Structures are given as structure tokens and as C-alpha cells.
Structure 1
Amino acid sequence: MLCVVLSVRMNDSAVALLGERPLPALAPGLREMAVRGIERRDAVLTWAGSPFAAVRSAPSSDLTGWECDETSFHLERFVPVDKTTDEGVPHIPEEGQRILLSQGLALALALREQVYALTPVVPVRCIVAANETNGTFRFHQIRPGEGWNVPDLDLYQSDKVLVVDIEPPGTAARP
């Protein structure tokens, strides 16, 4: 039997918004991304088939920041949610934010098998956030002494944030 550690942390506003609802089926565009998966390019992880050439564009330092920039996308591009526009600024009501957050969580869980298949095996962190203007998803390899998000997720006052750490056998995530 495969022993896998999967942890999900949320700030209070994400917990309040998601409640105990079941996870939805992935929206078609997110399902395509999950099937496409992730891949290693030298020292960094990226979406499989990404046009970015890690050898040329990844810095020798702050690989975590590079991965977060490279893998980040707006969930509302793939997940239909109601939104209004006020003076050119989009507004996503709480129900739309809940949908984006739950779709991001479902995508993180769908990427588990891709993470388990990486060589060498490494732990991966997926970060999902939603607020009144957008929802984002990003991932990065968990490296000792590096991090992209603030450890205390409740410090994100305007965002509902959740973090999923996927730790395959033989790896140990670090904050």
C-alpha cells in the first residue's frame, strides 16, 4: 500500500466559505490541465507542455518564486462564475469565490498522481486563493527554507486561501 501524506490548510475565511460541502467535479478546462499534468525541467517544476524554458529563464536563486509565477493562472478563465463590473473592476460574489476555491482544491487533489510520478520524488505545495476580483491557483516544489505564501494564512485578510501539501513517500515537506 502506498503511504502518502496530504495536508490541507485554510484560513478562517476559506473554512467559513467552503463549509463541509463535497468537492465538485472539475470544470472541463481544469480537467484538461490535470490530465496534462506537471513536469520537471532541471531544478524546477512547471505545467507539462509549458512554453517556458526553465534552463534559460529560471534563476539560480528563488526557484520557488519562479515556479509560482510560471504556474499561476486565474481560475475564472476556466470556471464559469457570476461576476459584475463596477467602473472596470470585476466583482465576484461569495458564491463565485466558493466555486473558485473548491475548483482549485479539486485541481490540487487531481494533481496527486502527477506529483507521485515525478523523478526525483519531491513534495509539492498547491496554493489556491479567491477574493472579490479573482481566483488563483499555483504550485511549487517544497524546498527547505523557502516558501511563497505567508505561513499564517489568516494574515490574508481579503483572500480566502487554502494550501495543499502533497508529500509522496520518502519526502518531508517543510514550511
Structure 2
Amino acid sequence: MLTIRMNEAAASTLRPLATVDLPPAVPSLSQGLRDKFTRGLTYNEGAWIFTEHVGQWAGAPASASAAIAKMGWQDLSGYEWNVNAFHLEDYAPIQVENLDGQPQISREDQALVLRLGLVVADSVFALIRALPEPVPVRCVISANDTCVVFRFHQIRPGDEWIDGTLRNRNDPDMIVVADRHP
């Protein structure tokens, strides 16, 4: 079962795209993203991470349990949340402006990259479905005017914290959450 939820900021950004006569363009995966998915996933003590991300945290130990202890991550979901994170704008066909030393992404480009995030989520779901024992997975795309971050983690009991994030009307970030249960 697939469930997609988003906060009001994301809905209001994506909504106008659905009312245009022509459907919005769905970005395709860049070569860098295709390479990430070709390399697949690595299993580490109960956690699934992008193989390409193994060892990316220079200060974190290789084992999930040791990394959780050293980095202060709460649990396996927190480990996956951090290790699987990457900036989607690095893989998107958009122009990131530099304003006073800060990256700036236009609202239109944020919407485009949010849609790219859903394509990336679908690719993560395909990797998970191909596992011998597929697990429930949550993909989270958060966008603002400086970056768009993609993350995923296995859904485990107690992971309901995202519901509060979606209801926070004071958060200016656009947040899209896609859950897939086998």
C-alpha cells in the first residue's frame, strides 16, 4: 500500500501544478541518481542504507550500532534517516542561485524538485520490493528556498513523529512523506 501525505506548504506549492491544462513535467533520474540505484542497498545490523553512502560519515563507525552510539542518533530509524540523506538539487535540472553566500532555489524549481523526490521515492520502493523480505519504508522530501533533502528509513513501531511535523503550520518547509508497505 502506498500513502502520500504532505503539509500545507507542499500542497499549496504543488496544487497549482495540477490545475494547469498541461500536466507538470515529471523530471527523470539523472545519471548520478541512476548510478545510486544501480549500486543498490546495503544491510547493516537491521538498517538499509544506500550502498553509495557507506562510509560517507567520516566520523561514524562502520557498524550501525556503533554509529548510533557515537553520533547520538536515537535508533536504527535515526541512523537510516541521517545516512540515507542527500540533497536532491544536486541531481536536478535546476539553477541554484547564490545570494549573499546562500543558495537560493526558486519556488518553481522547489516544486520541480519535490516531484523529482517522488520519482526517487518510487525508485527506493523498487529497491525495497526486490529484497528477499521487503520491509515498510518511509521516504521524506523536505524543500525550502535553500535546499531540497531526500531521506528514507524503514518504518518501525514508534516512528509516528512525522505526523507532528506535518501538522506544524509554522514550519515554512514543504514536506512530502511517502510510505510504502509491502
For the pair 1:141 / 2:154, whether they are aligned, the reply is yes
* Equivalences for residues 48-63 of structure 1 within 5 A: 48-52=51-55, 53-55=62-64, 56-59=66-69, 62-63=75-76
Residue segments in structure 1 that go unaligned for 5+ positions in a row: 169-175
Percent of paired sites with the same residue: 35
Q: Kindly tell me the number of residue pairs found equivalent between the two proteins.
A: 164
User: Cα 1:133–1:11, aligned 2, differ >3 Å: closer, same or farther?
Assistant: same
For the pair 1:97 / 2:110, whether they are aligned, the reply is yes
Q: Deviations over 1:87-144 (max 9, x none)?
A: 2111111011112111111100122221112344310101001100000001001000
TM-score of the aligned structures, taking structure 1 as reference length:
0.82
Which one has a larger percent helix, Structure 1 or Structure 2? 2
Larger mean Cα displacement after TM superposition, 82-91 or 12-21: 12-21
Residue segments in structure 2 that go unaligned for 5+ positions in a row: 19-23, 56-61
| Root mean square deviation, CA, Å | 2.2
| CA–CA separation in structure 2 for the residues paired with 1:66 and 1:158 | 25
Larger mean Cα displacement after TM superposition, 25-34 or 57-66: 57-66
Q: Which runs of 4+ in 1 moved over 4 A?
A: none
Q: 1:34 touches 1:107 (CA, 8 Å); kept in 2?
A: no
User: Cα 1:12–1:24, aligned 2, differ >3 Å: closer, same or farther?
Assistant: same
CA apart distance, 1:13: 2.0
Secondary structure of 2:38's aligned partner: helix
Larger mean Cα displacement after TM superposition, 82-91 or 34-43: 34-43
TM-score of the aligned structures, taking structure 2 as reference length:
0.79
Q: Which amino acid aligns with 2:63?
A: A
Aligned to 1:31: 34
